[in-house]
């Protein structure tokens, strides 16, 4: 079993990931550094997409049918400070649900691989 698959299962699969995503967006929407990116966003749909994407990124089933990372962030001109804020909120959301620091770092290392596809688009 791959490390990612183990991580997906370890985190509690979709049920727990959906809770993490809800908490994550609570943090994001309370943060003036990044909440403006979501002003005109259907948050219910966004939460569903994000839960599927994170599940897939952590080795779960590929149910993500959204646009590529570059297309999804096109025209947003996301800067490193924004990306870093989102990563911090994901860290804090995972920690809130009792995920170990080692597992959080493993998850965040996967998110980090998306940096170049998201920044400055």
Q: Which two tokens stand for residue 65?
A: 């049918």
Whole-model pTM over 0.75: yes
The pLDDT of 48-77, averaged and rounded, is: 83
pLDDT at 118: 93
pLDDT for res 57:
72
- The CA-to-CA distance between both ends of the chain, in Å, stands at 35
Residue 97: CATH number of its domain: 1.10.490.10
The number of folded domains in the chain is 1
Expressed as residue numbers, the domain containing 41 is 3-118
Residue 49, annotated ligand binder? yes
Cα–Cα distance for residue pair 25/32, rounded to 1 Å: 13
- Other CB atoms closer than 10 Å to residue 104's CB: what's the count? 18
Give 22-57 pLDDT, tens digit per residue: 999 999 999 999 999 999 999 999 998 888 877 877
91 is in an annotated binding site: no
- State mean pLDDT over 63-74: 83
């Amino acid at each position: 079993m791959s490390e990612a698959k183990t991580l997906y299962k370890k985190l509690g699969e979709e049920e727990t990931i959906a809770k993490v995503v809800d908490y994550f967006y609570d943090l994001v929407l309370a943060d003036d550094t990044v909440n403006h990116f979501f002003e005109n966003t259907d948050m219910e749909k966004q939460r569903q997409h994000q839960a599927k994407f994170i599940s897939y990124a952590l080795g779960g089933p590929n149910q993500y049918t959204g646009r590529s990372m570059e297309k999804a962030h096109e025209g947003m001109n996301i800067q490193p400070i924004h990306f870093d804020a989102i990563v911090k909120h994901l860290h804090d959301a995972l920690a809130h649900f009792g995920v170990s620091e080692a597992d959080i770092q493993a998850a965040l290392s996967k998110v980090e691989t998306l940096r170049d596809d998201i920044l400055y688009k």
